[in-house]
Structure 1
Amino acid sequence: MLPMDAKRNADSYSYPNGMLNSGWIVGVLRQPGEGKCFIQQTASENHMLPVEFDPRQAPLPRDLKEWDLVMAYCHFIGARENDVRIVRAKSIRFESPNLMHMDKRFAEDVMRKWSVKVHAAAKDSGVPAAIEAVGKLAGDVPAKEERINSVDWRVLKLNKNATNTVQLAGFVQAKSLERNRVNAEGKPMNDRLVVLLRQTEDPDKSIPIRWYGRNLEPLANTLTRGLPIKVQGEYRLDVKALGAPDPESGLAPVSKLPYIEAKDFPGPVTPDSGLIKIAPFWVAEMLEMGSRRAPRREAAPAPAAPEGIDSAAILAQALGTPASGA
């Protein structure tokens, strides 16, 4: 459990690896267990967000029960599940949101999430008492609307929601751009850019971040290996049907992959920003490996770095500034 001085100072828990990694999720508590629960933000039970926690260090409040409103402050960790990249959310603190102190805009964002249309083959939770209480504070429930994905910053801003916010800074480990995508009906879909954001020595813990939009190639070209960036996004689930709906229940089996969906353009990390507070040795190794893998066509492959490589100098190079003492 966080001490009171830590609660007042966000910096004390927002940089678990010396790099910005912080977020919060507000919704209805579901299936609370020993070290794991779910936070439901939409009426669809397929999209309940898994949240891990340490029962000793960051327990759920004793008075909190299933279907109550809950707020979780989280760190986000990349992982592999059956060789697929996913994100794990680990709560460092839970709170019970106080409706008396909740402003109208925040209440509207809660209702905007809950009003998202539920797929016909998914279980609909209806409107539980906690959401109904928030609805009274918010006023008219927003009309159900489909999410718009676009690289247009104005549309991205409209898609931001105060009840689900993730802020990260780290180094680009790898990227993958999918263009000319089509859905099951053959209709064209937006491009999808997936970037692995690295914050630790273990590259398998890199955090998968997705951008959706039209013509993402220019953005992909700027995100080179080893580039330090900051990202604001949302913790989400990629839900895919695995088969036809059950004839009796009408529900379809699905797969669920947790990921971070970016809600803004990635921003550069400058040395004075304070978003990356350390110069990890593995950044130098990552940049050196990248230069070996992708030498410029008009130039010969870069020679191997000498022993005793200066990781601080490499980091300064990545940040676009001179290294100290040079």
Structure 2
Amino acid sequence: MLPQDAKRNPDSYSYPNGMLNSGYIAGVLRKNDPVNGICYIQQTKSENHMLPIHYDPKKSPIPREIKEWDLVMAYVHTEGMLDGENRIARVKSIRFEAPNFMHLGERFRDDFMKKWSVAVHAAATESQTPPSVEALSQLPSANNDERRDSFDWRTMELNKNASNQIKIAGFIQAKSLERNRKHPVDGTPINDRLVVLIRQSKDSDASVPVRWYGRNLQPLAEKLARGMPILVNGEYRVDVKVISMPDPVSGLAEVSKHPFIQAKDMPVPVAPDSGHIKIVPSWAHELFRGHGSQSAPEKVDENRSALFASAFGENQQQADQPGA
């Protein structure tokens, strides 16, 4: 559990490897298992998409007053891991707390309620709306200076989604671009998918998988070189794919689940004086060898607007669909 002094000092928890790694996830608490140190945060009615949150039951327990179906907020670190042949993101909470009026502003409420109303998979268990979410939908706005200046909003610099935000700075370990993708059911064209592994430690298997979806991601993929230091703003999600026909009795289908980070904007090159990367370890220097000088990030920065326009247009069909 973070002491009060640490809560006021972002550096004490936001740089576990000398590189920015900070996150904030809010939603409905589900299926808490304090013995194994795992719970789920539900942000949509589909239980297939509940977000797994790991934690240390001794150092960062869930407060006893927060029960199943209550709203909860988790401050997290993210790392990657191998699950068979799949690269997944593993999120670990360093602190849980109940939401209060400094958090439950109009922005948070609208972002969360928008997620809760999304219908993701027909062949899945769908939760009813619990009293905590019903109460949230009726809250007045708490948009005031006190909320904006509170520790958790300031350090997260929340953008795009006030209920789910991940910020990671690190070095590119590898990348993979999938173009000319087709919808698995109707065969219609869907957006490109670019997966980039962001490395923060000596263990390359702990690299965090970050995905971009867009109409044409090839220009971005060509600019992102192995070893390049970048900053990513993203959202913690679960890629769910149906792997069997629905059960004729229950109507439910067996699925595979792979947690990942979905980027919500273009990556930002990390400048030496930015403070996002405080330590450049020896393995990072190795990544640079044979892939140009450190001047490459500046070129990416010059072209950010053009890259954004080419990759993310107004027609974002299925760009944000989990499992797409």
TM-score range, shorter chain: 0.7 to 0.9
1:193 aligns with 2:181: no
Q: Which runs of 5+ in 1 are unaligned?
A: 140-158, 296-313, 321-326
State whether residues 226 and 318 of structure 1, in contact with CA within 8 Å, keep that contact through their aligned partners in structure 2. no
| Structure-1 separation of matches of 2:175 and 2:267 | 13
State whether residues 190 and 212 of structure 1, in contact with CA within 8 Å, keep that contact through their aligned partners in structure 2. yes
State whether residues 175 and 220 of structure 1, in contact with CA within 8 Å, keep that contact through their aligned partners in structure 2. yes
- Tell me the equivalent position of 1:246: 247
1:172 aligns with 2:169: no
Query: What is the CA deviation profile of residues 37-67 of structure 1, one whole-angstrom value per residue up to 9, with x for unaligned ones?
Result: 0000001000000000000110000111110
- Tell me the equivalent position of 1:75: 77
* Matches for 1:35-74 after TM superposition, within 5 Å: 35-74=37-76
Query: What is the CA deviation profile of residues 94-136 of structure 1, one whole-angstrom value per residue up to 9, with x for unaligned ones?
Result: 0000257621221111111101114221111021111000011
Q: Relative to 1, partners in 2 of residues 1:162 and 1:286: Cα closer, same or farther, differing over 3 Å?
A: same
Q: Residue 119 of structure 2 aligns to which amino acid in structure 1?
A: K
Q: CA deviation at 1:174?
A: 0.4
1:33 aligns with 2:33: yes
Q: Residue 207 of structure 1 aligns to which amino acid in structure 2?
A: V
- Tell me the equivalent position of 1:90: 92
| Structure-1 separation of matches of 2:85 and 2:20 | 26
- Tell me the equivalent position of 2:4: 4
Query: What is the CA deviation profile of residues 249-296 of structure 1, one whole-angstrom value per residue up to 9, with x for unaligned ones?
Result: 1011100000000001000101111000012000122222xx2xx79x
| Structure-2 separation of matches of 1:75 and 1:250 | 36
- Tell me the equivalent position of 1:298: none
- Tell me the equivalent position of 2:229: 228
| Structure-2 separation of matches of 1:68 and 1:169 | 32
- TM (normalized to structure 1)? 0.82
State whether residues 239 and 254 of structure 1, in contact with CA within 8 Å, keep that contact through their aligned partners in structure 2. yes
| Structure-2 separation of matches of 1:58 and 1:319 | 37
Q: Relative to 1, partners in 2 of residues 1:276 and 1:124: Cα closer, same or farther, differing over 3 Å?
A: same
- Tell me the equivalent position of 1:205: 206
- Tell me the equivalent position of 1:162: 162
| Structure-1 separation of matches of 2:262 and 2:103 | 29
Q: Residue 248 of structure 1 aligns to which amino acid in structure 2?
A: V
Poorly superposed stretches of 4+, deviation over 3 Å: 316-320
Instruction: Indicate the larger mover: 4-13 or 38-47.
Output: 4-13
* Matches for 1:103-122 after TM superposition, within 5 Å: 103-122=105-124
Instruction: Indicate the larger mover: 59-68 or 93-102.
Output: 93-102
Cα RMSD after superposing both structures: 1.8
1:269 aligns with 2:295: no
| Structure-1 separation of matches of 2:296 and 2:282 | 13
Q: CA deviation at 1:200?
A: 0.3
Q: Relative to 1, partners in 2 of residues 1:274 and 1:250: Cα closer, same or farther, differing over 3 Å?
A: same
Q: Relative to 1, partners in 2 of residues 1:80 and 1:280: Cα closer, same or farther, differing over 3 Å?
A: same
- Tell me the equivalent position of 1:323: none
- Tell me the equivalent position of 1:149: none
State whether residues 227 and 319 of structure 1, in contact with CA within 8 Å, keep that contact through their aligned partners in structure 2. yes
| Structure-2 separation of matches of 1:212 and 1:245 | 28
Q: Residue 54 of structure 1 aligns to which amino acid in structure 2?
A: D
3-state SS in 2 of match to 1:85: strand
Query: What is the CA deviation profile of residues 7-28 of structure 1, one whole-angstrom value per residue up to 9, with x for unaligned ones?
Result: 1111210000000000010000
- TM (normalized to structure 2)? 0.82
Higher radius of gyration, 1 or 2: 1
1:126 aligns with 2:122: no
State whether residues 111 and 138 of structure 1, in contact with CA within 8 Å, keep that contact through their aligned partners in structure 2. no
Query: What is the CA deviation profile of residues 158-178 of structure 1, one whole-angstrom value per residue up to 9, with x for unaligned ones?
Result: x92110000010001100000
| Structure-2 separation of matches of 1:187 and 1:319 | 35
3-state SS in 1 of match to 2:92: strand
